[in-house]
Structure 1
Amino acid sequence: MGELILVRHGETEWSRTGRYAGRTDVPMTEAGRTAARRLAPVLSARRPIAAFTSPAGRAVQTASLIGLAEVRTDADLWEWDYGGYEGLTEQQISAARPGWNLWHDGVVPGEAGYPGESVAQVGARVDAVLDRVRPLLAGGDVALVLHGHLQRVLAARWLGLPPEAGRLLRHPGTGTLSTLGTEHDEPVIGTWNVPAAVAAASAAAD
């Protein structure tokens, strides 16, 4: 059975400065594009049999830079819709809502196009993704290019945990690689939040 290879998109100006980017299509920085290119040898060595990406431009471009072929976009791989908190930093949100925590307190509705999502709604989306990709793993690795909070929810659901258990996983950095697999027929996290340079060096050593 193959593994799920999770690639968080490369750095954007919003990710660099800590602004929440759910549905805003923020372009990658040059540093983000460089980090993505470093992952190309890793994905080439793994030779995934299928690849899916969030429709966000930063994810689609990352998929191209890491050399994935025949990539399909999947609307369920969009990042958490942060609603009225789109574009804000955690510090700005906490100034208005002291002690605010995304996982426990959720978001407020925003303007048109940013209705916001609960953690349960995000969980339902990643469940749909997993339902589609699990059968493919019988033939080999499957790559997903996605976003930070969504990746944490997806990993929690892979492990059979509730979506809010994603809070227990460290937020993956931009341009990082993680893997989900099985051990003794039980779902496990193989690797988590591996920087592009480290992943590339490991692939070269192998």
Structure 2
Amino acid sequence: MGELILVRHGETEWSRTGQYAGRTDIPMTEAGRSAVRRLRPVFASRPVAAAFTSPAGRAVQSATLLGLADVRADDDLREWDYGGYEGLTERQIEATRPDWDLWRDGVLPADAAHPGETAAQVASRVDAVLARVRPLLSDGDVVLVLHGHLQRVLAARWLGLPPEAGRLLAHPHTATVSILTSEHDQPVLGSWNVRPDSVLSER
């Protein structure tokens, strides 16, 4: 069986400043593109059977820079819709909602383009992704290029935990690799939030 390899897209201006970017298509910085390129050798010798990406430009471009072939965009890999908190930092949100916590308190709706999502709605999307990719693992690794909060929910669901358990996993840095695998037919976390230089030093 192959492994499910998660890659968070490269840095954007909003990820650098801590602004929530759900539906907004923020381009990567040059530093972000450079960091993703450093991950490319990781996939050169892996038996990649399939690759999927969020349709957001920063994820699609990251998949291209990784050198992945036949990458398919999957709308279910979009980031959590932050609704009325789109573009805000945690400090800005807490100015009106002290001690706000995404996992506990959720988001407020904004408009038709940013209605917001609950953790359960995000989990429904990642459950659909997992149902599609699990059969492909019999042919090799599957790579998903995605976003930070969505990645945490997906990992929680892989482990059979409720979506809110994603809060127990550190928010992945941009341009990092995480691996979901199994031991004795049980889903486990193989590695998490590994930066390019660390990945290459282990090879």
Band of TM-score, shorter chain? over 0.9
Q: Tell me if structure 2 keeps the 8 A contact 1:35–1:197.
A: no
Aligned to 1:177: 177
Task: Please show how residues 1-206 of structure 1 align to structure 2 within 5 Å.
Answer: 1-203=1-203
The letter of the residue matching 2:56 is A
Please give the alpha-carbon distance, in whole angstroms, between the structure 1 residues aligned to 2:2 and 2:63: 19
TM-score scaled to structure 2, two decimals?
0.99
The SS at the match of 1:181 is: strand
Please give the alpha-carbon distance, in whole angstroms, between the structure 2 residues aligned to 1:44 and 1:85: 39
Please give the alpha-carbon distance, in whole angstroms, between the structure 2 residues aligned to 1:125 and 1:9: 19
Unaligned 5+ segments in structure 2 are none
CA offset at residue 94 of structure 1? 0.5
Q: CA RMSD in A?
A: 0.6
The letter of the residue matching 2:62 is T
TM-score scaled to structure 1, two decimals?
0.97
CA offset at residue 43 of structure 1? 1.2
The letter of the residue matching 1:142 is V
The SS at the match of 1:93 is: helix
Please give the alpha-carbon distance, in whole angstroms, between the structure 2 residues aligned to 1:130 and 1:141: 13
Aligned pair count?
203
Output one character per residue of 1:22-51: Cα deviation in whole Å (capped at 9) or x when no partner: 000000000000000000000112131100
Please give the alpha-carbon distance, in whole angstroms, between the structure 2 residues aligned to 1:9 and 1:200: 18
The SS at the match of 1:49 is: strand
Please give the alpha-carbon distance, in whole angstroms, between the structure 1 residues aligned to 2:140 and 2:40: 18
The letter of the residue matching 2:35 is A
Detail structure 1 runs of 4+ shifted over 2 Å in the superposition: 200-203
